[in-house]
Amino acid sequence: MPLIHNSSYTPPRVFRSAHLQTIYPSLFRNTPLITGRRERITTPDGDFLDLDWHCTPSNKRLAILSHGLEGHSQRAYIQGMARALKSAGWNVLAWNFRGCSGEPNQVLDFYHSGSISDLQTVIAHAAADPTHQEIALIGFSLGGNITLKLLGDYAAQLDPKISAAVTFSVTCDLSGSAVELAKWQNGLYMRRFLKTLRDKIEEKAQRFPGKLALNKLDTVQNFQQFDEYFTAPVHGYKNAADYWAQCSSLISLPNIRIPTLLVNALDDPFLGPKCYPRALAAEHPYFHLETPTHGGHMGFVQFNHEKQYWSEMRALEFLSTHTRIAQNP
């Protein structure tokens, strides 16, 4: 069964700290820009998405990368994965969520943990290119939640080119993750997320007067409050609890019908207990769960000649086993 009991990840000795695993790559990892060609596409509601590409015409396989909360396509974990995929003969598309590419999006809506429709738009655009005969999805944190939710909720309508998916550090139970991130020991992460989210709300309030509860913004100290005052009402949910219940990918996992890997480190400071669905994986023919003892949140630091982190090597290993088209000679 696809419950992986013994993970292959062994961290460098000094990286047994979950917080060091989480912080070090963000601050100190330097990766070259692989996806250097930008394309802007229009969404069905008149907004835009910025897509960053690396393509070699002879490659028939495409990997679509979805970043995490308040991330973007040029973050080190995205470009590190892009470099590993490029070396293995994949084309790469790293897309930016609304408002994450350096320019505010054009409508009141913004991205959130259930933004499946935007990923669907990206997939449809990429799949229309006949060069791409096979597509893999790779998601990180919030982007992983969107990926898993899409795979489960739209299993029967999934584009047949999509053959496999890999996700890392996924907050698949939003309620439990909100509780974890509100704890004092995670205050650094919470403050960093809220700073940029507040900036975006203030910018939107100027363009859409009266549409946002701007008087509540200074009182926001955690995700429960942010989602209650902003995410939920803007996107049609009753409240934060309703948003969390409807957008957590945990409820979608049983319906997945392609080989899918979820890697959540046991020491991830962002994840609650329900983010490790072992019982489901033990009985599921397609959903694979791997829970390394160490790794933090989107860490999995490794030092080697190829400059690849373990997460990148693990993704390539899984895709090599579960995709249809062999690497180009």
Position 80 pLDDT exceeds 60: yes
Mean pLDDT across 48-67 = 97
**Distance between CA atoms of 240 and 61, rounded to whole angstroms?**
38
Q: pLDDT by residue (tens digit) across 173-230?
A: 999 999 999 999 999 999 999 999 999 999 999 999 999 999 999 999 999 999 999 9
**Mean pLDDT over all residues of the chain?**
96
pLDDT, mean of residues 93-118: 97
CATH code for the domain defined by 3-173+249-322 = 3.40.50.1820
Q: What is the mean pLDDT of residues 51-79?
A: 97
Strand extents, DSSP E, 68-168: 91-95, 134-140, 162-168
Which strand (E) or helix (H) includes residue 25?
helix 18-28
Kindly report, residue by residue over 270-290, the tens digit of the pLDDT.
999 999 999 999 999 999 999
**Is the Cα torsion angle 108, 36, 262, 264 positive or negative in sign?**
negative
As a whole number of angstroms, the distance between CA 176 and CA 113 comes to 14
Check whether 329 has a pLDDT greater than 70: no
The percentage of the chain sitting over the pLDDT mark of 70, rounded to a whole number, equals 98
Which part of the chain has CATH 3.40.50.1820? 3-173+249-322
Please choose, from the candidates 43, 63, 61, the residue with its C-alpha nearest in 3D space to the C-alpha of residue 52: 63
Model confidence band, residue 326 (pLDDT cutoffs 50, 70, 90): low
* Among 1-5, 134-138, 306-310, the least confident range: 1-5
* Confidence band, pLDDT 50/70/90 cuts, at residue 324: confident
Measure the CA–CA gap between 3 and 281, rounded to whole angstroms. 5
Percent of the chain with pLDDT over 90: 97
Contacts 24+ apart (CB under 8 A), 68-72: 68/140, 68/141, 68/142, 68/143, 68/144, 68/169, 68/298, 69/141, 69/142, 69/193, 70/100, 70/192, 70/193, 70/196, 70/197, 71/100, 71/140, 71/141, 71/143, 72/96, 72/100, 72/101, 72/102
First to last CA, the chain: 32
Q: Give per-residue burial for 17-30: e unless 16+ CB within 10 Å, then b.
A: ebbbbbbbbeeebe
